[in-house]
């Protein structure tokens, strides 16, 4: 069957199971957009390409499918770069399709030409410039394979206009085989045995789980491991949701804004079982003093993550879910009851830390941002999909909402991209039209992609935005307060829009709470509305996030309230 490149592209997308793409048209992709009119794929038009790529990314985070973003050449392509880097840092499977000028013009500084393959080389898992339409189908298939397998990540395909317009015979393809790319899923069983032996010996073990557990859907195996052996669990920001946030074995998040007990447990433990984490500096603090008494086991599908930042006693290369399942099998043959019993003294000690130094805030006359998050948790029954912006809002969301499943907490962890939350909420809502999706936002971040309210309204995606409006770039202000003598250089907004009227101008619903007693009613009203809603919570301007580990300090040296 002879088909045009644009038709081959859409056929391949359908074959890969793509039902939704987020895209923005332009000259170089006119032919693809024309073919889209005859396709069943749903196309969502954001108001900025950055919105499109974040939405595709969050669609992937929420559904576990590969997200797809389509943009034109030049500025369309460069507008996606922040979003590509965001997905790359958090290992999210996204395929980005960029238009490109016709092949004879490449290299001529043609109108809207940019070397997007060159620009995105360091922030994609892989990328391609497809010059020959006869290779198109195979490259698309390869791109999806690479994006979703191994340690997932974004893959970009640059598609010159003349290639998309030429024809080739289309034949269905078999499975992808690449001699240079074969991720290791099954771990070396000898290493897993060593892990089991160390667990048997440990008196004060801790599980530290990360994004890899969520990505591999290893949450059930992780929960089994922890509950059967009674090992407490902490997690990185990306690891939230992999273990029930309501379980007594859950210690809360680790690191710079981790809970006291999580940071203390890691600092005192004799064995750390690190699963799907990469020991980011926001988690380890000063690496020399990180978990000084512990043997560290590190399980990860990406060999480069192992031993990169901290030395490890037992490295295990493999898929987190598969490895944890094998480990559970091994432990089942041992005396798990006896192993569990050995940890009671340790758990009691942790319980004391929890009692002595819990997460706290003091709700007085002005609304405390933590109070808003707690109310959101209560009133959604802990079931909403939460996206966040970046800054204090993100940390309070992580501390005060408790997550119970992968894909429930959607946040830009590695890159810390302000402006992520609203388009991410749109992407998640597109994947789950019937679930409650809430963007916990800051007044700064929300203005970075606020235009996407129009997208939410146009496609009836009833996302809820909860702005923790402190009138500040709060997280930066917090650092200035603590480490720069309260010199608030360029972090105060002396002017902000009226978010309620802005929401209404976009056709969404705007609500505001000025006092603590109004918070509940505003949330209830928002949750009962089947349209996009912006809730403007006027919160304590100078509230800070605690505990806090100053950058570069050991994680047991926390600043507390």
Ligand X SMILES: Cc1ncc(C[n+]2csc(CCOP(=O)(O)OP(=O)(O)O)c2C)c(N)n1
Determine the interface stretch with another protein among 121-129, 351-359, 523-531, 535-543 (rule: CB under 8 A).
121-129
Catalytic residue among 49, 268, 540, 543: 49
**Listed residue (320, 318, 186, 206) closest to 259, CA to CA:** 206
Structural contact between residues 141 and 178, judged by C-beta atoms closer than 8 angstroms: no
Instruction: Please list, in sequence order, all residues whose beta carbon lies within 8 angstroms of the beta carbon of residue 55, skipping any fewer than 6 positions away.
Output: 22, 44, 46, 67, 69, 423, 424, 426, 427, 430, 452, 455
> Looking only at Cα atoms, what is the longest distance across the chain?
72
Q: Within 46-75, which residues bind another protein (CB under 8 A)?
A: none
Among 30, 117, 217, 379, binds another protein (CB under 8 A): 117
Annotated catalytic residue 49:
yes
CA 262/CA 279 separation, integer angstroms: 15
Give me the count of residues in the chain.
561
Q: Which is nearer to Mg ion, 300 or 443 (CB)?
A: 443
- Closest approach of Cβ 441 to ligand X, in Å? 7
Q: Which is nearer to another protein, 150 or 419 (CB)?
A: 150
The site partner of 381 among ligand X, Mg ion, another protein, none (C-beta below 5 to 8 Å per kind) is none
- The contact set with Mg ion (CB under 5 A) reads 442-444, 470, 472, 474
Q: Which is nearer to ligand X, 305 or 470 (CB)?
A: 470
Phi and psi angles of residue 331, each rounded to the nearest 5 degrees, phi first: -65, -30
- Closest approach of Cβ 440 to ligand X, in Å? 9
Catalytic residue among 204, 475, 548, 558: 475
Catalytic residue among 15, 65, 112, 342: 112
Determine the interface stretch with ligand X among 3-11, 31-39, 133-141, 472-480 (rule: CB under 6 A).
472-480
CA 101/CA 105 separation, integer angstroms: 6
Binding of residue 303 to another protein (CB under 8 A)? yes
Annotated catalytic residue 163:
no
DSSP of 408-446: SEE---SS--TT-HHHHHHHHHHH-TTS-EEEEEETTGG
Q: Tell me if residue 34 falls in helix, strand or coil.
A: helix
Binding of residue 468 to ligand X (CB under 6 A)? yes
Catalytic residue among 4, 11, 125, 161: 161
Determine the interface stretch with ligand X among 13-21, 383-391, 401-409, 496-504 (rule: CB under 6 A).
383-391
Binding of residue 540 to ligand X (CB under 6 A)? no
Q: Within 416-455, which residues bind ligand X (CB under 6 A)?
A: 416-418, 442-445
CA 413/CA 57 separation, integer angstroms: 13
Q: Which is nearer to ligand X, 92 or 231 (CB)?
A: 92
Determine the interface stretch with ligand X among 108-116, 129-137, 345-353, 412-420 (rule: CB under 6 A).
412-420
Q: Which is nearer to ligand X, 426 or 468 (CB)?
A: 468
Give the 3-state DSSP-derived string for 44-91, with helices as H, strands as E and coil as C. Answer: ECCCCHHHHHHHHHHHHHHHCCCEEEEECCCHHHHCCHHHHHHHHHCC
Residue 464 corresponds to which tokens in the numbers above? Answer: 């809820």
Binding of residue 301 to ligand X (CB under 6 A)? no
Q: Which is nearer to another protein, 121 or 492 (CB)?
A: 121
Q: Which is nearer to another protein, 125 or 375 (CB)?
A: 125
CA 223/CA 238 separation, integer angstroms: 16
Phi and psi angles of residue 476, each rounded to the nearest 5 degrees, phi first: -70, -40
CA 430/CA 428 separation, integer angstroms: 5
Q: Within 384-403, which residues bind ligand X (CB under 6 A)?
A: 389-393
CA 505/CA 12 separation, integer angstroms: 39
- Closest approach of Cβ 84 to another protein, in Å? 15
Annotated catalytic residue 325:
no
Q: Which is nearer to ligand X, 290 or 420 (CB)?
A: 420
Residue 336 corresponds to which tokens in the numbers above? Answer: 């798990």
- Closest approach of Cβ 113 to another protein, in Å? 17
Geometric angle at alpha carbon 367, from 475 and 254, rounded to 5°: 45
Q: CA torsion sign, 423 to 429 to 430 to 431?
A: positive
- Residues in contact with another protein, total (CB under 8 A)? 17
Annotated catalytic residue 139:
no
The site partner of 390 among ligand X, another protein, Mg ion, none (C-beta below 5 to 8 Å per kind) is ligand X
CA 151/CA 10 separation, integer angstroms: 26
* Count of CB atoms situated within 10 Å of the CB of 550: 15
Annotated catalytic residue 161:
yes
Q: Within 475-494, which residues bind ligand X (CB under 6 A)?
A: 475-476
Name the residues annotated as catalytic: 49, 111-112, 161, 475
Q: Which residues lie near another protein (CB under 8 A)?
A: 117-118, 121-122, 125-126, 129, 146, 178-181, 302-304, 307-308
Q: Which residues lie near ligand X (CB under 6 A)?
A: 389-393, 416-418, 442-445, 468, 470, 472-476
């Amino acid at each position: 069957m002879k088909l045009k490149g644009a038709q081959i592209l859409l056929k391949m997308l359908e074959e890969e199971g793509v039902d939704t793409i987020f895209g923005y048209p332009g000259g170089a992709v006119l032919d693809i957009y024309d073919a889209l009119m005859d396709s069943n794929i749903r196309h969502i038009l954001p108001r900025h390409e950055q919105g499109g790529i974040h939405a595709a990314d969050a669609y992937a985070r929420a559904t576990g499918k590969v997200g797809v973003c389509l943009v034109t050449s030049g500025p369309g392509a460069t507008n996606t770069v922040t979003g590509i880097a965001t997905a790359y840092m958090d290992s999210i499977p996204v395929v980005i399709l960029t238009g490109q000028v016709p092949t004879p013009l490449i290299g001529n500084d043609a109108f809207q030409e940019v070397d997007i393959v060159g620009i995105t080389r360091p922030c994609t898992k892989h990328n391609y410039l497809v010059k020959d339409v006869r290779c198109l189908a195979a490259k698309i298939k390869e791109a999806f394979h690479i994006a979703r397998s191994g340690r997932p990540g974004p893959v970009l395909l640059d598609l010159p206009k003349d290639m998309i317009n030429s024809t080739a015979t289309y034949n269905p393809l078999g499975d992808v085989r690449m001699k240079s790319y074969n991720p290791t899923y099954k771990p070396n069983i000898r290493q897993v045995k060593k892990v089991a032996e160390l667990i048997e010996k440990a008196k004060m073990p801790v599980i530290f789980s990360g994004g890899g557990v969520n990505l591999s859907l290893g949450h059930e195996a992780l929960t089994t491991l922890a509950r059967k052996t009674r090992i407490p669990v902490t997690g990185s920001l990306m690891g939230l949701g992999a273990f029930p946030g309501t379980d007594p074995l859950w210690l809360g998040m680790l690191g710079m804004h981790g809970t006291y007990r999580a940071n203390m447990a890691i600092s005192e433990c004799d064995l750390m079982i690190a699963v799907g984490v990469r020991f980011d500096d926001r988690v380890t603090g000063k690496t020399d003093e990180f978990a000084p008494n512990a043997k560290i086991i590190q399980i990860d599908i990406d060999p480069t993550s192992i031993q990169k930042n901290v030395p490890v006693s037992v490295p295990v290369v493999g898929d987190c879910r598969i490895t944890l399942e094998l480990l559970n099998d091994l432990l089942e043959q041992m005396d798990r009851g006896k192993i569990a019993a050995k940890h009671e003294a340790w758990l009691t000690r942790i319980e004391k830390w929890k009692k002595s130094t819990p997460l706290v805030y003091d709700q007085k006359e002005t609304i405390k941002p933590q109070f808003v998050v707690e109310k959101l948790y209560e009133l959604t029954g802990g079931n909403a999909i939460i996206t966040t912006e970046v800054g204090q809002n993100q940390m309070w969301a992580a501390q005060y909402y408790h997550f119970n499943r992968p894909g429930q907490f959607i946040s830009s962890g590695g890159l810390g991209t302000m402006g992520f939350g609203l388009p991410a909420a749109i992407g998640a809502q597109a994947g789950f039209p019937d679930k409650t999706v809430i963007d916990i936002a800051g007044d700064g971040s929300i203005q970075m992609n606020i235009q996407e309210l129009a997208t939410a309204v146009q496609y009836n995606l009833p996302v809820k935005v909860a702005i923790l409006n402190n009138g500040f770039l709060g997280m930066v202000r917090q650092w200035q307060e603590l480490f720069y003598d309260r010199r608030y250089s360029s972090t105060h907004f002396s002017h902000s829009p009226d978010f309620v009227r802005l929401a209404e101008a976009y056709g969404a619903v705007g609500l505001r709470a000025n006092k603590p007693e109004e918070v509940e009613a505003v949330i209830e009203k928002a949750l009962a509305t089947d349209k996009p809603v912006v809730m403007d919570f006027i919160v304590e301007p100078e509230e800070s996030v605690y505990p806090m580990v100053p950058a570069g300090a050991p994680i047991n040296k926390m600043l507390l309230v």
